[in-house]
Amino acid sequence: MIKTPYILFLGDAPDMLAAKVAIGIRDWRPENAIGQYRMEGCKADLGLTDMTLADAKAAGAKTLVIGVANRGGVISQAWKKVLVGALEEGFDLASGLHNLLRDEPDLVAVAEACGRSLHDVRVPEVEYPIANGEKRSGKRCLAVGTDCSVGKMYTALAMDAEMRAREMKCTFRPTGQTGILITGDGVPLDAVVADFMAGSVEWLTPDNDPDHWDLIEGQGSLFHVSYSGVTMALIHGGQPDALILCHEPTRDHMRGLPGYELPTLETLRDTALPLARVANPACKVVGVAVNTQNLSEVEARAYVEKVENEIGLPTTDPYRFGASKLVDALAQV
């Protein structure tokens, strides 16, 4: 569990794209983003208050989150100076970088001396159980995709935002490093040992109030041969009551797999639903989320309408047009 709120470290980001993680935090948990820390030459700007470490401390920030990708996979000396200063100022550090904070002896030594924590959210911090398949109370929704990176996380976050606005009981349950940094908690599922994958998802989505929804972040795709095992563990460990089908309509092959075609939304539905019903016989497919970022507004509206007519399920781009249609459908379950 990462202590919130955060000061978002943007470092020397070469552009906005490099600050994807920080943007996610600002967009979906603005209450966690007290301000931004930018180094000389930083080309990203989240529109948050620029703060020194002392400013951030005074404003109540507890953790400095590395909200930017580093260049060349190395934590530079320029970054180190700020990170060491942050530990000394009393902040914990949190990072989703491939190269781990805990592998940097200077950061480890200073954190220890200052009594601070280093959170590498790519690495599981919990000993997860083996899944037991027992029925849990409360309800769960899982986004499954025709491919990887089709907007499953944004779909869950947009539904979470809409449900909060309606004062429905819900919790976004992250299963990847960006989601974990956004909320401060979750399971880095792609780094969990095979035998414990489904158990980690059960652990993440425990018993809850009967009218509470967990919105589980999806991973991979049943049709993506590199990661389908992770998706399968989410479908069985998550025991979803509701599935949302996610799709990006402009791909000509599966991400990173030339020669592999995307399945249709109908094939995804007919594959995922029977598998989900093994763990939860009441599971239903309740809607479709289309990622229209590569379409114009007119194209996007036409595509969404076409899908909705063909598959007969509430369909929208929840990021572009809002998630109310999907939440309406969920409220019926």
User: Contact positions toward a copy of itself, by CB under 8 A?
Assistant: 130-133, 189-195, 197-199, 222-223, 225-233, 235-237, 254, 256-257, 259-260, 263, 271, 274-275, 278-279
Of residues 301, 272, 143, 128, the one with CA closest to residue 214: 143
Instruction: Output 58 or 225, the one with its CB closest to a copy of itself.
Output: 225
Q: Please, which residues bridge with residue 246 across strands?
A: 145, 289
Give the DSSP per-residue string, 238-279. H--SEEEEEE-TT-SSBTTBTTPPPPPHHHHHHHHHHHHHHH
Phi then psi dihedrals of residue 91, to 5 deg: -90, 145
CB 144 within 8 A of CB 244: yes
The tokens for 217 are 């972040």
Instruction: Output 107 or 268, the one with its CB closest to a copy of itself.
Output: 268
Instruction: Output 98 or 164, the one with its CB closest to a copy of itself.
Output: 98
Instruction: Output 43 or 277, the one with its CB closest to a copy of itself.
Output: 277
Instruction: Output 200 or 292, the one with its CB closest to a copy of itself.
Output: 200
Q: Give the three-state DSSP class for 154.
A: helix
Min dist CB 294 to a copy of itself, Å, is 23
Min dist CB 278 to a copy of itself, Å, is 5
Torsion angle of the four alpha carbons 128, 130, 133, 137, in this order, in degrees rounded to the nearest 10: -20
CA dist 210 → 11, 235, 272, 319 (Å)? 44, 20, 24, 27
Min dist CB 255 to a copy of itself, Å, is 11
13-28 burial code (b ≥16 CB/10 A, e <16): beeeebbebbbbbbbb
Min dist CB 27 to a copy of itself, Å, is 26
Min dist CB 187 to a copy of itself, Å, is 10
Instruction: Output 109 or 126, the one with its CB closest to a copy of itself.
Output: 126
Q: Which residue has the tokens 């000389």?
A: 40
Min dist CB 188 to a copy of itself, Å, is 9
